[in-house]
Amino acid sequence: MEDTLKLGGREFHARFILGSGKYSLSLIEAAVQYAGAEIITLAVRRANTQEHENILDYIPKGVTLLPNTSGARNAQEAVRIARLARELGCGDFVKIEIMRDTKYLLPDNAETIKATEILAKEGFVVMPYMYPDLNAARDLVNAGAASVMPLAAPIGSNKGLATRDFIQILIDEIDLPVIVDAGIGRPSQACEAMEMGAAAVMCNTALATAGDLPAMAEAFRKAVEAGRSAYLSGLGRVLERGGAPSDTLTGFLHD
């Protein structure tokens, strides 16, 4: 059976989701191509422009838009931004981002659950950005989320899987796709998240701050693919100490 990522009744082959902020609009097309991305996020507030250039005009055809609600400080604002995204023609996918802290940009899980419930009922494919908390993730499932998107580390920090153990718990316990979002700084970290069983990885700053953006996009694509293959093939066990002899010491015993 083909290995695809299923979201909102759609199937995707690529498991690397690309961010579109923090770098030149003219690089978006190359980033999408080298990353092999089929989904790209964009801030609705960034698309709220008309006179000069609009980021929407730079996104290649055929790529699924995942508008996010950044700038929302509570559920009500997120809902309004999501509806605006739909009006702007961004489709039914929405990534909920609700932050009440401008320093670390950590998501507010409680408000995110409320917004998820409202938007899921309105037919949105809701992908909530969240702090990896199992109870909140279960509530998001019940609220109608299409996936959960736990953070690896604060947005833009490039710190990698700081919440590794808690993301693993979500992967083990939640039946929806678990997409690791925020904080992934290098391809090896993206690979590790995929080895753990994440359904996909999303990145922005790691690419935006790279010396050669398209080349880094390609590196991430390969890392995500490698991690996925490793996960599907079943990783070997890890020995904490010593080696494992292939011949046992008790093999001579007959009964």
Cα gap 217→204, rounded to integer Å: 10
Stretch near other proteins under the rule CB under 8 A, chosen from 21-29, 118-126, 194-202, 215-223: 21-29
User: Which residue has tokens 């039946």?
Assistant: 175
Residue in 32, 99, 146, 198 binding other proteins, rule: CB under 8 A: 99
Q: Is residue 212 a contact point for other proteins (CB under 8 A)? A: no
Residue in 8, 10, 29, 45 binding other proteins, rule: CB under 8 A: 45
Contact in structure between 35 and 184 (CB atoms under 8 Å): no
Q: Is residue 102 a contact point for other proteins (CB under 8 A)? A: yes
Residue in 1, 2, 9, 51 binding other proteins, rule: CB under 8 A: 51
Size of the site for other proteins (CB under 8 A): 34
Residues in the chain: 255
Cα gap 84→86, rounded to integer Å: 5
**Considering only CA atoms, which of 146, 16, 129 is closest in space to residue 71?**
129
Q: Is residue 44 a contact point for other proteins (CB under 8 A)? A: yes
Least distance from C-beta 201 to other proteins, angstroms?
18
Residues marked as catalytic: 95
Contact in structure between 124 and 101 (CB atoms under 8 Å): no
Residues facing 56 on adjacent strands: none
Q: Is residue 50 a contact point for other proteins (CB under 8 A)? A: yes
Q: What is the contact mask toward other proteins in residues 56 to 95, using x (rule: CB under 8 A)?
A: ---------------xxx---x--xx--x-----------
Q: Count CA atoms within 13 Å of residue 172 on its CB side.
A: 8
- Which residue's CB is nearer to other proteins, number 138 or number 159? 159
- For residue 41, give every residue at least 6 positions away whose Cβ sits within 8 Å of its Cβ, in sequence order, or none: 17, 18, 19, 20, 65, 66, 67, 68, 95, 202, 204
Other CB atoms within 10 Å distance of the CB of residue 193 = 30
Contact in structure between 190 and 220 (CB atoms under 8 Å): yes
Q: Is residue 163 a contact point for other proteins (CB under 8 A)? A: no
Residue in 46, 164, 186, 222 binding other proteins, rule: CB under 8 A: 46
Task: Give the residues lining the site for other proteins (CB under 8 A).
Answer: 21-25, 43-46, 48-52, 71-73, 77, 80-81, 84, 99-103, 105, 156-159, 205, 208-209
